[in-house]
C-alpha cells in the first residue's frame, strides 16, 4: 500500500494504517534527527516528537507533495526548534552509532575513515549539515530540500556547495575524489 493510501486510511480512523506509516518511516526519521542534532539521545526524543506532531497534524494533511517530504519537513522543523533552544555539542561516539557505514553517496562512501567524516560534519554550520544530510543520506532532490527547510532552491544549492567545499577542507588528505 502506498503512503498516500495509508494516510487516507489513517485519516479515516484506521489505527493499523497509522502504525504502518510510523513503522515505515521511523528508521529514516530517527536517523535524520540523530544526524541533525548530533546526539542519539536527543535524536530519539525528537523522533518521538516528530511522530506525535504527525499524529496531531494528520487529519489536516492534504497531499500537495509527497508524504515523505511533508514528514521530513515536520522532522526538520522539530530539530531546528531543538537546536535553537540549546546548542548541543557533538558527541562523536553517539554520532558514530547512527551514521551509516560508508553508504552515503558523494563523500561518506569515498572516505575510508568514517570518523573523519563525522568530525567534519559536526564542524559544519547547522544549515549546511542539514542540507548535506538530506541530500546525501536521504536522497532528497534540491527542490524537496528547499520545501523541507523553507528556503529557495538556489539557497539549498549554495549550502550544499559550501558544505561540500568545507568538507573537502576539513578532510584534507583523507578526501578521495
Domains of the chain: 1-98 (1.10.1740.10), 100-177 (1.10.10.10)
Determine the 3-state secondary structure of 12 from DSSP.
Answer: coil
Q: CA-CA distances (angstroms) from residue 43 to 29, 105, 117, 166?
A: 9, 22, 19, 24
Q: By three-state DSSP, how is residue 65 classified?
A: coil
pLDDT at 128 over 50: yes
Task: State yes or no: pLDDT of 170 exceeds 50.
Answer: yes
Q: What pLDDT shows up at residue 136?
A: 87
- Give the pLDDT of residue 120: 84
Residue 35 has pLDDT above 50, yes or no: yes
Sorting pLDDT into bands at 50, 70 and 90, what band is 174? Answer: low
Average pLDDT over residues 108-122: 66
Residue 54: pLDDT band by 50, 70, 90 thresholds? very high
Look at residue 62 and tell me whether its pLDDT is greater than 90: no
Contact of 115 with 92, CB cutoff 8 Å: yes
Q: How far is it, in rounded angstroms, from Cα 62 to Cα 35?
A: 28
Torsion, CA 73, CA 74, CA 75, CA 76, rounded to 10: 50
- Nine cell digits for residue 71: 514528514
pLDDT of residue 86: 61
Amino acid at each position: 500500500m502506498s503512503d498516500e493510501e495509508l494516510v487516507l486510511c489513517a485519516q479515516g480512523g484506521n489505527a493499523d494504517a497509522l502504525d504502518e506509516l510510523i513503522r515505515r518511516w521511523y528508521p529514516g526519521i530517527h536517523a535524520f534527527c540523530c544526524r541533525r542534532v548530533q546526539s542519539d539521545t536527543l535524536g530519539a526524543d525528537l523522533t518521538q516528537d516528530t511522530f506525535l506532531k504527525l499524529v496531531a497534524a494528520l487529519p489536516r494533511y492534504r497531499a500537495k507533495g509527497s508524504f515523505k517530504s511533508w514528514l521530513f519537513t515536520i522532522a526538520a522543523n522539530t530539530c531546528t526548534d531543538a537546536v535553537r533552544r540549546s546548542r548541543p555539542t557533538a558527541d562523536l561516539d553517539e554520532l558514530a552509532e547512527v551514521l551509516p557505514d560508508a553508504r552515503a553517496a558523494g563523500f561518506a562512501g569515498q572516505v575510508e575513515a568514517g570518523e573523519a567524516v563525522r568530525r567534519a560534519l559536526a564542524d559544519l554550520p547547522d544549515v549546511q549539515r542539514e542540507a548535506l544530510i538530506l541530500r546525501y543520506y536521504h536522497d532528497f532532490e534540491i527542490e524537496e530540500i528547499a520545501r523541507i527547510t523553507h528556503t529557495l532552491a538556489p539557497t539549498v544549492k549554495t549550502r550544499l556547495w559550501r558544505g561540500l567545499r568545507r568538507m573537502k577542507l576539513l578532510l584534507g588528505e583523507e578526501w578521495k575524489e
